Structures are given as C-alpha cells and as structure tokens.
Amino acid sequence: MSEQESLSSPMPRVLEPKSRPAGGTEQSWCKAVPGGTGITVLALLLSKAPDVPFLQTTLRNLQNTHPILKSKLHYDSTSTTYSYIIPATPQLQIQPFDLASASEILRGLIRSNSTTFSTTDFHLILEHELNRIVWPNPDPSSEADDADLFFASVYTLSDAKWVVALRLHTSVCDRTTAVSLLRELLKQMSADNGEGTQKEIDEELLEVRLGIEDYVPSGKGNKPFWARGVDMLGYSLNSFRLSNLTFQDTGLPRSSQVIRLQINADATQKLISGCQARNIKLCGLLASAALIAAHSAKCFPDDHWEKYAVVTLIDCRSLLDPVLENNDHGFYHSAILNSHDIKGGENLWELAERTHASYNNAKNNNKHFSDMSDVNFLMCKAMENPGLTPSSSLRTALISVFEDPVIDHSNQLHQRVGLEDYVGCASSHGVGPSIALFDTIRDGQLDCACVYPSPLHSRDQMHELIGEMRRILVEASNDIDTS
C-alpha cells in the first residue's frame, strides 16, 4: 500500500467507555452489597466437563450483548455516589478450581457447618459463592479502583461433577436478568462445540439502559410531600411493632445459608389450581405458610396475636415507560411492604387471600412506584443504624417473596451440557428479611431456595421452619382433593 493510500484509508474506530450514574434503587444496592445483601449467584451442577476457554468467550459475548454486565462500579468520594463505567471490551476471567483446590475449600466449609443435617458439595459451593464479598465499603479518603460486577468460577468436584458459578452484583442483576442470562448461556453452550470466538459487536447499536426511576410512567411515582412524610412515619413506627423469628446468635459475623423447599409435581399443581380458583398468586400462599410456621414455632396460644412483615418483589419491566423486555438486563424490581396480624389456628387459604388482597391493593394504588424512594431510604437508614432494628439484627421483614415464580422445563439444551441441577438466589445476611424466598416451578415441581442469615438463625432452626412450611403446603394441597 502506498503512502498516499495509507493516509486516505479510514482509521479503525475505537469505542470509548460509556458511563452513567447509578439510579436511586441501584445506589441502595451498592450500599447494601458490602454488608452481605445483594450478591446474586447462579450455580450450575454439570455432569460434563465445561470447556473453560469456550465458556469464558461465551460469557464475554453475553457481556457484549448486555453492556451493563461488563460495567465497572465507580465510587465518587466527593459526592459519595456510585456510577457505572462500561468499557468497550469485557475483561471477565474465569477462576478455575481443580479437584485439589475445590476439595480444600469443601473441607473448610464442612468444618464450619455444625449441623445435624447433611449438605451436598454443590450446596456448600453455592453458599461459599454467596459469601464471597469482593465489593468492600469504599473509603472516602482514597480513590479505589473501579470494581468488576461479574465474576465466574468453575469447581471440579470429581471426575464426573463440576460446578459453574456466576456471581454478580445485584444492582445490575435482578432475578429476571439471572434467568435470562442462564437461558442464553445454555443456548450458546449447547449450540457451539467449543469453537466459539469472541464476537465483535457495534456497541453504538446497544443502548445502556437507565435505572428504574427513569422509566416510571408519568404521574405514577408522584406523592404529595405531606403524604410522603406520613407514610415514612408509618413505616418507621410500624417497624417497632413487628415480630421476628427467635434470634439464635446476634454477636458473631454473619453469612448467608440456603435451604431448599421442594414439593412434588402433583401437590404443586393442586396448589396452583387452588390459587387460580381463588384468584390469588402463589406468592400469597408461600408467604402465608411462612407466617403460620413462624407463629407456630413460638408455641403461643391460639388467641395470641403477632404482627409480621412481608415484602413482595415485583418485576416492573412490563409496567415501565417505555416497556422493557426480560432480556433488558439490570435491576428493575420494586418492593411492596405489608404487615399482617397473625394468631394461632389460621387457615392457610383464608390467610393467603388476606395477604394477597393487601399486596394487590397496594399495587393497584401504585405503591410499588410511589413508595420506591421511601423503601430505599429506610433500607439505607437500617444499614447506617443497625440499632434501630431488633437486637441490631438488620431484619426488616419475616419473608420476602417474588410476585411471580420462575417457570422452567428441562430440555435438550440441559442434556447437551450435562446440566443436572441449578440454583439462583442472592445473599441476605446484611439488611433484609429472615427468609428470602426464590421460587421456581421446575418440570412442574415447586423448588424454592430459602436464603437466611446465619448464625442469626441456625441451620437446624431453619430446617424446622421450612419443614413446617412444606407440611402446611402439602396439607393444603390435600385439602384441594377433599373439597
């Protein structure tokens, strides 16, 4: 090529990093994660060895397709606010743990788990990932490096079992994002045979979505000043009247642990049919079972009333302006907080109708939008002042549930990659409920990951509580038969 031709040839286009400030809800999660709440983990148990280089390329391709997943978290010490820096090129590196390394980790986890209940290696790795906090509280006096928000690890458990663990900052990954990520990952892993290459994507065609507050429909998030003050006072005063599960140990450092609540397909279908007949959602039934089990655990007489709080998490994508799709990754959930008076001898279906009516009435009155900043403010205040919560426990509710379950079915993609099991959930041992419930209906069976703070609640204590919830639900499904 001549010098003249070289000078006239267009220079390759260099993509510059993009950035945007974190929204109000995202700022709250950025403050919560260093304390142990908001570490989203998607753990996959495989019977076929994953091709690590190919898996890494696949994950980078997904980051390119969804730029928020390759963003870095920047803290401005002057304004004490966070923002997302989206680089042009993803830098995710999978951390592999060979059999010796994984075995050493598991031995340490087994030693630290004093319980009468056995746990699988897959379960222990899931909990290990939930408690790997790599986002420390920023030091206002120093300028720390921008932090990655997406990490991946591969653990070799044996010559026939592997765990792929994806760990993300919840401010960029709500449950809908995690489900979408899982489905896209399995599709790409099964479509290519280890020959994938990193794809070049024109990022100017990919919009980096804003925070949820920027998409709230006009007028639906409005609240008069005095009404906001009254609601804030009501939330604050009501919190002092709330009951909690008995705390086992309030002094030792906390971590997140998980118990799975599983019900067979026949009983699950009966419960769903019962909900449909009463025009209520499954979340109301699950929350009600937890309320009854919690009250029963305290062995009060039937005429003894207690007040418990339930948080219902709503995926707002379909309610926003403009409407967002499930593959618009980020955090687009909002929360509705309701309190319920419970006494012994409650009928599950009657209580479910009552709890559902409370949350549904709040949603119809746009509380998921108008109270968004109030709930975020109270969450941050609890983090800043743990003493305002019972026994400095940071517990804000008995249980959190999602408005709708994840529906999933096994398919050929699962078989091709050797997917035997998976769990998606988030840590909650900082600020949060005593039980954070992540429900899936998988091949027709109810499968819930119940996350709780340990040792604030012990594994034995929670096994009993979740077991009682399961008994209540199964008994309710039998009632469908008799009716």
pLDDT at 411: 82
pLDDT band at 214 (very low <50, low <70, confident <90, very high): very high
pLDDT band at 77 (very low <50, low <70, confident <90, very high): confident
In the CATH hierarchy, which fold is given to the domain comprising 15-200? Chloramphenicol Acetyltransferase (3.30.559)
* Buried residues in 127-158 as b, exposed as e (16+ CB within 10 A): bbbbbebebeebeeeeeeebbbbbbbbbbbbe
Written as six digits, the tokens of 338 are 């309701």
Under 8 Å CB-to-CB from 402, ≥6 apart: which residues?
175, 283, 312, 313, 315, 437, 438, 439
Written as six digits, the tokens of 97 are 């743990």
Q: Examine domains 15-200 and 214-482 and report if their fold is the same.
A: yes
Cα-trace Rg, the chain? 23
pLDDT at 283: 97
pLDDT at 7: 46
pLDDT at 138: 80
Output the pTM of the full model: 0.92
Written as six digits, the tokens of 415 are 């078989």
Is the predicted pLDDT of residue 397 greater than 60, yes or no? Answer: yes
SS3 363: helix
Domain boundaries, the chain: 15-200, 214-482
Q: Compute the distance between CA of residue 356 and CA of residue 370 in angstroms, rounded to an integer.
A: 19
Is the predicted pLDDT of residue 204 greater than 90, yes or no? Answer: no
Is the predicted pLDDT of residue 225 greater than 90, yes or no? Answer: no
What is 214-482's CATH number? Answer: 3.30.559.30
Written as six digits, the tokens of 80 are 């004490």
- Which sign, positive or negative, has the C-alpha torsion 404, 409, 414, 420? positive
Are 413 and 186 contacting, i.e. CB atoms less than 8 angstroms apart? yes
Written as six digits, the tokens of 161 are 């079992």
pLDDT at 190: 79
pLDDT band at 384 (very low <50, low <70, confident <90, very high): very high
* Rounded alpha-carbon distances, angstroms, from residue 3 to 61, 133, 427: 37, 54, 60
CB atoms within 10 A of CB 347: 12
Task: For residue range 465-476, list pLDDT tens digits in order.
Answer: 999 999 999 999
Compute φ and ψ for 434, nearest 5 degrees.
-75, -30
Q: Compute the distance between CA of residue 173 and CA of residue 424 in angstroms, rounded to an integer.
A: 11
Task: For residue range 424-478, list pLDDT tens digits in order.
Answer: 999 999 999 999 999 999 999 999 999 999 999 999 999 999 999 999 999 999 8
pLDDT at 482: 54
pLDDT at 228: 58
Is the predicted pLDDT of residue 332 greater than 80, yes or no? Answer: yes
SS3 377: helix
pLDDT at 442: 95
pLDDT at 5: 46
* Bridge partner residues of 452 (DSSP): 257
Under 8 Å CB-to-CB from 185, ≥6 apart: which residues?
58, 59, 62, 166
Task: For residue range 292-327, list pLDDT tens digits in order.
Answer: 999 998 877 777 889 999 999 999 999 999 999 999
CB atoms within 10 A of CB 24: 14
Please report the DSSP string for 59-89 in residue order.
HHHHHHHSGGGG-EEEEETTTTEEEEEE-SS
Is the predicted pLDDT of residue 236 greater than 70, yes or no? Answer: no
Is the predicted pLDDT of residue 205 greater than 50, yes or no? Answer: no
pLDDT at 8: 47
Is the predicted pLDDT of residue 15 greater than 80, yes or no? Answer: no
